Amino acid sequence: MPELPEVEHVVRALRRAVVGRTIIASEIKLPKLISPTSVSSFKRKIKGTQITGVSRRGKFILIELDGDGTVRHGRASDSGSPARRALVLAVHLRMTGAFLI
């Protein structure tokens, strides 16, 4: 399992490589990791989103996406339209410590 310095190194490398790019496809190798969401729903949700940032919380890598979802509950904005909701993809390097782009 990668230690914190290795995770930070991956975050910095990913930040340089992917921020500003658009997700055109994804591959889910372990569907149980996105459960209860179906694979098709997950792919549909992130396809076409732009990566706006990469950060870290502990050993989790957080990939910030320009979500197209809207807040269904809570206060609406003053303009009368629903507020935009950002999407965050949380990734763990697991035992391999590898991240493939």
Residue 51 structural domain? 4-83
Q: What percent of the chain has pLDDT over 90?
A: 65
Residue 94: inside a domain: no
Using alpha carbons only, how large is the chain's radius of gyration in Å? 15
pTM: 0.78
d(CA 61, CA 50): 16
Beta strand 87-92 with 60-65 is antiparallel
| pLDDT score recorded for residue 47 | 95
The count of structural domains within the chain is 1
Residue 60: inside a domain: yes
Residue 62, beta-bridge partner list: 55, 90
CATH number at residue 61: 3.20.190.10
Residue 58: inside a domain: yes
Residue 48: inside a domain: yes
Q: Which of 51, 2, 1, 53 is nearest to 24 (CA)?
A: 51
Q: For residue range 26-70, list pLDDT tens digits in order.
A: 999 899 999 999 999 999 999 999 999 999 999 999 999 997 644
Residue 26: inside a domain: yes
Residue 32: inside a domain: yes
Residue 95: inside a domain: no
